[in-house]
Amino acid sequence: MTAPPGAAAPAGGVVEDERHARIMAEAERIRGLGETAEREARDPVNQPTINNWLEAMGNTNPRWKAGEAPPSMAQVWTMYGLGGTPPAGDPLHGMMRVLTDEGFTAVLGTNCEQEYRRTLRVGEQVRVTTALDSVVGPKTTGMGVGYFVTSRNTWYVGDEVVATMLFRVLKFVPRSRETSA
């Protein structure tokens, strides 16, 4: 018998075939949508935001006080902000909702692979696209049973790719829930 959507994975780390098939079908559907439309940053690259980031990171390199942004800030410009909401078609958030609905409610960031092609300059307007790269699982980990979800972001200024990122998270049923199920 298959557990209803939203139920915890059973003890022992087994994910039913029907649940797995639903998850992977949705992953393929979302992947098939390709990259999202470009989403523009709220603000152009600007020195006050660079200064705040430098202070928060403890970075004192004088280079970043002269109109260039540290490469690792690429994502900062297109973050949603405290009150922001991802668009309905955002592939990472869409896949996370699918897994939440299937009972995989916990999230753990696992790794992030970034490539910076050049520094950004004050005044540039950054845009980003996002795509679902892969969904792998179910995997039994020390945290619990789950799926590794990888998204791919690409940042642009004009027609130029300035940075890319693969972002991978584990969406899982916490081990404590498994043992009490």
Mean pLDDT of 4-28: 74
The residue ranking higher by pLDDT, 86 or 56, is 56
DSSP state of 159: T
What is the bridge-based pairing of β-strands 120-121 and 160-174? unpaired
Whether the per-residue pLDDT at 34 is higher than 60: the answer is yes
Task: Summarize the confidence of residues 100-120 as an average pLDDT.
Answer: 94
What is the predicted pLDDT for the residue at 83?
84
Taking residues 174-181, report their average pLDDT: 62
Model confidence at 40: pLDDT above 80: yes
Q: Is the confidence at residue 108, as pLDDT, over 70?
A: yes
Q: What local confidence, expressed as pLDDT, does residue 181 receive? A: 47
Residue 125, CB-side half-sphere exposure with 13 Å CA sphere: 7
Lowest model confidence (mean pLDDT) among 2-16, 44-58, 103-117: 2-16
Residue 137's nearest CA partner among 97, 94, 168, 164 is: 168
Say which CATH topology domain 17-180 has: Thiol Ester Dehydrase; Chain A (3.10.129)
Q: How many percent of the chain have pLDDT more than 90?
A: 78
Q: What are the residue ranges spanned by the domains of the chain?
A: 17-180
